[in-house]
Amino acid sequence: MSLNIIDLNLIIDQGNTIAKVAVFEKNIIIEKTIYEDLSSEILLSLGHKYNIENVIISSVKKIEGSVIEKIQENFLNLIYLNQNTSLPFKIGYKTPNTLGVDRIAAIAGAEAEKEDSNIIVIDAGTAITYDFMDRHKVYRGGNIAPGMQMRFKSLNEFTDALPLVDKTGELPDFGNTTQTAIRCGVIKGLVYEIEGFIEEMQKKYDSVFVFLTGGDAFFLSENINYPIFVDKNLVLKGLNRILNYNVEK
């Protein structure tokens, strides 16, 4: 039996290895699940349970055509996020067709939280991305750098003598073993990089709100000496914001 709840959206964020699927009632997540293999059966089951009509998909890899067909057959509105999707802000990027949909969604999530503000979104995942939108709702661009795990792995893979080190453990000012030297170099280097980017943008703009998301968000937030908003659901919230914007048009 489906639940008689109105204004529900189905949000699908397909990454390289997992898919995050959430059901929103207006701006509130009422169910969230992570799947290694996304199937039409899973989505149709959620649609039946909640009587969902609106769906948005953001994917960094190709989703099977059969899954898309089933969604189109069973839901009223489907938005497949790409460079042609209508957004609640402007894109000031020279090559919008190369801009990652996850970055667009994260900016939309931050914009929903802090409208008419200068916003930095830092997504600390496999890669770490820095994205900036000004208070006039124009996305100006951002930077891409290796993420924490990529830095650890590259030191191990591109050298003969350096071991693969985990992020957990001692973190002195200066490493006193090879392991602590690597851990300090990677983590402190990444923190200084983040703080430097924030400081540079704060000098150029009156006030800047900083959002941190991604798999390493909570870990890094403990070491960053700037006021930040940590939200691991920022991309899902942004996708919901974009879906509502298109449905209400």
**Is the separation of the CB atoms in 68 and 12 below 8 Å?**
no
Task: Count the Cβ atoms, other than its own, within 10 Å of residue 15.
Answer: 16
3-class SS letters over 131-165: EEECCCCEEEEEEEEECHHHHHHHHHHCCCCCCCC
| Residue 122 region by backbone torsions, left for phi larger than 0, else alpha for psi between -120 and 50, else beta | beta
**Is the separation of the CB atoms in 109 and 81 below 8 Å?**
no
Choose among 119, 118, 120, 123: nearest CA to 103. 123
Compute the distance between CA of residue 232 and CA of residue 237 in angstroms, rounded to an integer. Answer: 10
Tell me if residue 102 is catalytic: yes
Compute the distance between CA of residue 123 and CA of residue 202 in angstroms, rounded to an integer. Answer: 18
N-to-C CA span, the chain: 31
Compute the distance between CA of residue 243 and CA of residue 81 in angstroms, rounded to an integer. Answer: 9
**Is the separation of the CB atoms in 52 and 46 below 8 Å?**
yes
Catalytic residue among 13, 37, 102, 216: 102
Compute the distance between CA of residue 63 and CA of residue 54 in angstroms, rounded to an integer. Answer: 18
Q: Which residues are catalytic?
A: 102
